[in-house]
Amino acid sequence: MSATFAYPPPADGKPFRLNMGLRALELAAWLEGGVDLAEQIGERIELAATARDVVYQILPGYDDAIAELISRILENLKAFHSATYHVGAKTITHIESNISVTLSDGDALLNLASIIAEDLVILARDENEWKIVAGAVIFPSRWKLSEKIGKGMDAVHAPVPGYSTALAPYMTATFDKISADRQVWRKNWSLHSTQDLHQPTSIHEPADPKDYWWRTERQTLTRSESGDFMYFTIRNRAEPLAWIKSDIDSSKLFAETLASFAPETIEYKGLQRDHRAIIDYLRSES
């Protein structure tokens, strides 16, 4: 793996601020490959088989929305990812690992999510909010799909410090502005003491700051053609935090952002034990 972050830590030294940060997304960039793709897909296929009840949840009545999402992803793979994937009428074969998975059975959403890098979630507009109605989330970051299914965005994000004032008043209206031909994306990040991407519950292992992992989520939102549904994808990566030390100025500036965390944010991000040590490490010259 190249020692370059796909999405590097913030290096502006500004205090941490919760924000949506949506950006326009080109159709060709909806799905992402990368040097970690083959390894991730092997793990995703295994988890889809062994942890199905953890990673896969669907409510009845949304077959059409699921079918549209699958169709649009297949079209995108054929149009923009032919060098990485071969797409047939009923199968997708991942060239690098020669894996073929059928998409014709009742678990098509799970099967599809297991052979691409993105987790897949479907939201429905209901009772003046967007609710999770289906999902294949193979790499959750300290949350359980079974506890979120059927809930609206405010309930889903209730544990996030500052959400009720910074984002809740604007969430539904912002989602409503997204159209079928105007995809958007955003970044989310966290620091983990292990590189495990499958974390329905937190995994906290003793680790030196230099051995921490920079976890990123590249999230996209795409409106269905009918306008009644939203397709949410999550591309997860875990990269060594130590890569940031190749640029000591960026390292020190990121330390300033971490130092601005409020106590409740430190707790929410699971950094109670190592928060100060990570800041000191980032500020050091070595």
Contact 41, 87 (CB under 8 A): no
Contact 99, 45 (CB under 8 A): yes
Half-sphere exposure of 187 (CA within 13 A, CB side): 11
80 occurs within a structural domain: yes
Contact 234, 119 (CB under 8 A): yes
Segment among 77-86, 116-125, 259-268 with least mean pLDDT = 77-86
The tokens for 120 are 């897949």
pLDDT in tens, 87-116: 665 567 765 555 566 666 679 999 999 999
117-138 as b/e: b if 16+ CB within 10 A: bbbbbbbbbeeebbbbbbbbbb
CA distance linking residue 64 with residue 70, whole number of Å: 10
What is the reported pLDDT for 104? 62
What is the reported pLDDT for 224? 98
Higher-pLDDT residue of 204 and 131 is: 131
Confidence grade of residue 170 (pLDDT, cut at 50, 70, 90): very high
Average pLDDT over residues 50-77: 95
The tokens for 222 are 């795409």
Which residue has tokens 């500036």? 253
251 occurs within a structural domain: no
Total domains in the chain come to 1
Which residue has tokens 């998409």? 103
286 occurs within a structural domain: no
What is the reported pLDDT for 103? 64
Q: What is the four-CA torsion angle of 216, 145, 25, 195, rounded to 10 degrees?
A: 20
Residue 240, pLDDT above cutoff 70: yes
Contact 214, 244 (CB under 8 A): yes
What is the overall mean pLDDT for the chain? 93
Domain assignment of residue 104, given as a range: 23-191+216-241
What is the reported pLDDT for 19? 93
- Residues in contact with 110: Cβ distance below 8 Å, sequence separation at least 6, in sequence order: 48, 52, 55, 56, 136
150 occurs within a structural domain: yes
82 by Cβ neighbours in 10 Å (0-12 / 13-18 / 19+) ranks as: exposed
259 occurs within a structural domain: no
268 occurs within a structural domain: no
What is the reported pLDDT for 2? 47
What is the reported pLDDT for 177? 96
Segment among 29-43, 121-135, 176-190 with least mean pLDDT = 29-43
Contact 136, 109 (CB under 8 A): yes
Total residue count of the chain as it appears in this document: 286
Residue 83, pLDDT above cutoff 90: no
Residue 1, pLDDT above cutoff 80: no
266 occurs within a structural domain: no
Average pLDDT over residues 151-179: 96
Residue 192, pLDDT above cutoff 50: yes
39 occurs within a structural domain: yes
Average pLDDT over residues 130-138: 98
What is the reported pLDDT for 235? 98
CB atoms within 10 A of CB 205: 9
